[in-house]
Every structure is written in structure tokens, then in C-alpha cells.
Chain A
Amino acid sequence: MNMRLTSSPRSGDPSWARSENARSRFGLISRAPAPSGESTEPAKVRLHDICLSYRSQTGEQFPALDHINLEVNTGEFVCVVGPSGCGKSTLLHLIAGLHRQSSGEIWFAGTPVAAPGTDRIMIFQEHALFPWLTVGENVAFGMKMKGIQRREREERTRYYLRLVHLAKFEKSCIHQLSGGMRQRVAIARALATEPDVLLMDEPFAALDAQTRDILHDELERIWVETGRTIIFVTHNVREAVRLGDRVVLLTFRPGRVKSEFPIDLSRPRHLEDPEVAATARQVLDQLREEINQSLEAEYAAVIKPKIEP
């Protein structure tokens, strides 16, 4: 399995597929890229005092995100964890430009985010591939929208399908693929538009454990090979620690940054590494407080609370 996963279509890569820092990534494995970054380059993504509130049907405002400040550096793999309902997916939508925040500003590569752009591509939890297109057409979709010539489109589509080991399925329909294969297509589709940042919204949550393990390995490999910046949202702490350079923990409603954990572990990692488990435990201890709150809120909504203070 490892043999297959580490084999890459590196030989004869076209120029657009090469990345400056790809090769050296495994070389500086034990060094977690410092959140502040030693380069003078500004952060790739900078969230400044982001607030978002929804208006419920009865007209009252309730806050979903509360003064979020976050910086993500170029090439960094940041995982955002939090209890369900903390607004972590919403955060990605804001960065993608699919929604507008109520206040605060999002900076992307030095300019404020105002609209969706192919420099920030989302990978959704599931069912976001277009079933009316073949696998290849799905991967080529973003490039087609960009107006890239057909020949280059086809070439790149093949390249990225090889990258996710799905070259043979270019002509297949989406419904013929397994859940894991679909998410790999989604990754290829996202990478094909050459985004600077991948925004991943619990992309492996609907998969079985074995498939998820394989996709973790693949994602880590692809990240190393392409040198992209990744913001990965999940409720699975183990997954976050296994993948991220840094784990950001959000509080329960309204979402606030509770704490950040630099993950200083060597790569490639595995889910069952004791170091991963130990670090995950630290994160989990803090997360548990938030989960308890979210559970209480859930129960309170169902049964009227009779608990003494």
C-alpha cells in the first residue's frame, strides 16, 4: 500500500505542478512551522476580529462567531476543531467568500476577501461533486470556468487524477465511485484550479475508518508534493493532530478561539502513533469542556432543565 501511495507522477511534471517547497518538506519534518513564521512574508490568510451573527425566525440575533483572530502561513496545515455547532464550517465559508461576516476582516494574501475566488477552494463533506459530469469533467470544471484551453485542461486533469491515484476512472460517473474515491476526486478537482489554499470541511467525516486512514496518508503526501496551504475543519481531534502543523480549538456557541496547539511531531505520522494519541488527549481535555456545554444546550432544548445549580 505504501509503495503505491508514495509513487507519484513526479517525473516529467509540468512547471505548474512543481512547487518550491515540496521537496524539502519531509526534510524539515520535526520543525513545526512557527505560527508567526520566520519569513517576512505576510500570513496567507489572516482573520481579524471576525464576528458573525444569524437572525433567527423570531427576529432575535444570535452570534455564531465571536471575534475570531487567526493567521495561517503559506504552506501551513492548520486544523480547526470544535464541538458541532461552533461555526467552524461557517468560518471556511467566510474565507471562501461564499458568505459575508457581520464584522471584522478577512485578508487573503494581503487583500481583503470580498467574493469567491479560485485561489481558495473548498472541499465539502460529501455530495459536492457534480453528478452530471464524469470524473474527468469534474476535475476540469474549475479550469473550464477560468477559461483554460482544452488541451491544457485535459493534461492537467490527467495529472491531478494520477496524483490521487484515479487515472483509470477519468471517464467514470460519480455514482460509480466509493465514498473515499469521491473525496479523492474532490481533492483533485480542488487542486486542479491551482488554489493557494485548500479549505477542507470535514472531508472524511462520512468515510469508514480504513478509508479515512488511507486518505490521511494521501492528503499528507499531496500536501508535501504540492506545498499548498490547508485549513482543515474537523470534529475529530485525533485526525486534527495526525494531520496538522497546528490545531486551533474553537469554543461552543458562539465560536471563539479557545486555544492553539502547535503540533511538533515528526512526519509522516500515523493515527495510532502514541505521540499523536498523547497530544490528542491534551486537546481533547479542553475540547471536552466545550462538548459538555454543547450537550447541555442540546438537552436543555429538548427537556426543560430541572438541574439544581
Chain B
Amino acid sequence: MTTNAAMKRAGRYLVFYGGLFSLWVMLAELKIWPPYLFPTPWGVGEALYSGFKDHSYVIAIETSMQRVLIGYAISVVFGMILGLGVASNKFLEETMGGLLVSLQSLPSICWWPLALLWFGLSQNAILFVVIMGSLLSVTLAMEDGRKQMPRIYGMAGRNLGAKGFKLFWYVLLPASLPFIVTGLKQGWAFAWRSLIAAEMLYLSLGLGQILMMGRDLNDMSAVVAVMLLIIALGFIVDGIVFRSMQRHLQNKWGLTPTT
């Protein structure tokens, strides 16, 4: 039953992606556009191969991952503190709540000039942009999660002797997790986008930089190869970290999948 369904799903994937790939091959082979505008799959494959072979892609991935992880971790910690504060304090909610929502409409790369002036052309400037990209998502998600969370958990926790940090860590945080996991995921996506954008402007290692390098060298195959890499990495983190987190929560809480 389930294997049958899985087979069918795999079949659908195969048809769709096979079709997409054939379309690409066909368009490339028709040679309507020159290869420096429209690369062939083999060209992209070669670019990927040589990029990994001379370790330039590996170093770029390591650098980018390190930056985004640090930035995202900081966002999560501060976003949760801020979100809880806004959710539990009437004054903060009325004042800062509106500010947070309006700030979120600002694309994070708009912080780049400011970051350059504050931090110079440095790692910190990139981190700043990454944090500005994801902090607000996490904050708003936490605020919302804290409000959606059934109040009885907080009462039961206090009743059983939890207070202060223990109440937050053992009750409020896990109780709001199902409500904030979507926000955490969104925060990750924003962090990732902000990072690539910032790296494209700040030419020092990272995936964004080799992407720009491809443009400078007129190497369309390399550009597409790096784009594929960026997609793949984002997808892998989303699939491995967040999907498994959601699945774990669904199993624990007995929620039905929301897809």
C-alpha cells in the first residue's frame, strides 16, 4: 500500500524532472542562444565538477554556511527574547509591535549601506545583514506563538513549581514550538537570502561571491551551477532540519500534517 504510493510519487517526480531536464537539453541543443547566454547541462555539470575538484565550491559552501549559522543562531536567541517580551508586555506590544511589522517590510539588503558604514567591509557587516533579515521573522513568530499557546500550560507549569527561566525553558518554549516552527523556517529562508545578497556585494569568499565571479568571467555555466548549489543547500537544510522538526512535533503532539 505505502510502497505502492511511494512508487507512484517517485514516478511523478521522475516524469516532471525528466521532462524539465529534456526541455533544457532540447533548448540548449537547438542553439537558439549562444552557450554564454544559455548553458548546456553538460557545461553546468563540468563547472560543478571542476568547482568541487579545485575545492573552491567547498570553501565557498563552508564559509557561507558558517556565516548563516552564526547569524541565524543569534537571530533565534534574540528573536525569542524580543518576541516573548512583546507578547507579555502591554507597553512593548503597543509600541514595538507596530515597529516590528513595519520594519519587516524593509528588504534586509537595505541594511547593507548602513552596515558598511558601521562595520566596514567585514564579516560583521554580513552578519548584521543576515541578522536583520531573520531576526524580525523569528520575533514575530515567537510573539504570535506565545499568544496562540494555550494559557493553561503556563498555569499548570507555575502550579507545578516552574518559574522564571525554568518556566520559559521547560514550559513556555516547548509549548509554543508548534506555533513558531513555521516562523523559524521562514527566518532561516530570510537569513539564507540575505546572506547570498550580501555576499554578492561583498566580494570575499562565499557562494554569493563565486556567483558574481561567474558573471565577471562571462561563465554562464558556473553561474547556473552556483545557483543550483544555493537552491540545493537551502532545500537540504529545509528538508532535513525543519521537516524532521515538524514531523517530530506532529508525532509528539498528535497533530495532523498541515500539507
Contacts and interface: CB of A to CB of B under 8 A. Distances in A.
Interface of A: 93, 96, 98, 116-118, 120-122, 124, 127-133, 141-142, 144-146, 173-176, 189, 193
Nearest to B166: A145
Given A98-B155, A173-B251, A132 B162 contact: no
Nearest to A174: B254
Nearest to B255: A175
B95 interface: no
Interface residues of B, number: 23
Contacts of B153: 128, 130
B215 interface: no
Given A118-B161, A145-B166, A127 B152 contact: yes
Given A124-B152, A130-B175, A98 B158 contact: yes
A189 B161 CA distance: 12
Contacts of B158: 98, 116
Interface in B212-253: 249, 251-253
A145 B161 contact: yes
Contact of A130 (B159, B161, B171): B171
B159 A122 contact: yes
B159 A173 contact: no
B254 A128 contact: no
B195 to A, nearest CB: 31
B14 interface: no
Contacts of A116: 158-159, 161, 163
Contacts of A121: 159-160
Contact of B175 (A118, A120, A132): A132
Interface in B162-204: 162-163, 166, 170-171, 174-175, 177
B204 to A, nearest CB: 42
B161 A132 contact: no
B252 to A, nearest CB: 6
Contact of A131 (B157, B170, B253): B253
A118 B159 CA distance: 7
Given A124-B152, A142-B161, A145-B162, A175 B253 contact: yes
B107 interface: no
A106 to B, nearest CB: 15
Contacts of B159: 96, 98, 116, 120-122
A145 B160 contact: yes
B7 interface: no
Interface of B: 150, 152-153, 155-163, 166, 170-171, 174-175, 177, 249, 251-254
Given A131-B252, A132-B253, A173-B252, A122 B162 contact: no
Nearest to B173: A132
B184 to A, nearest CB: 15
A199 B162 CA distance: 18
Contacts of A132: 174-175, 177, 249, 252-253
A133 B175 CA distance: 10
A144 B170 CA distance: 10
Contacts of A120: 159
Nearest to A120: B159
B193 to A, nearest CB: 31
A133 B173 CA distance: 13
B39 to A, nearest CB: 48
A108 to B, nearest CB: 14
Given A120-B159, A124-B155, A132-B174, 16 more contacts: A93-B155, A96-B159, A116-B161, A118-B161, A127-B150, A127-B152, A130-B171, A131-B253, A131-B254, A141-B160, A141-B162, A145-B161, A145-B166, A173-B251, A175-B252, A193-B161
Contacts of B161: 116-118, 142, 145-146, 193
B160 A175 contact: no
A85 B162 CA distance: 29
Contacts of B160: 118, 121, 141-142, 145, 189, 193
A144 B169 CA distance: 13
* B156, B157, B160, B253 interface centre (most CB from chain A within 10 Å): B160
A186 to B, nearest CB: 9
Given A98-B155, A98-B159, A116-B158, A130 B251 contact: no
16 contacts: A96-B159, A116-B161, A116-B163, A121-B159, A124-B152, A128-B156, A130-B157, A132-B175, A132-B252, A142-B161, A144-B170, A145-B166, A173-B253, A174-B254, A193-B160, A193-B161
B176 to A, nearest CB: 10
A96 B152 CA distance: 14
Contacts of A118: 160-161
A174 B249 CA distance: 12
A175 B171 CA distance: 17
A133 B156 CA distance: 14
A124 B251 contact: no
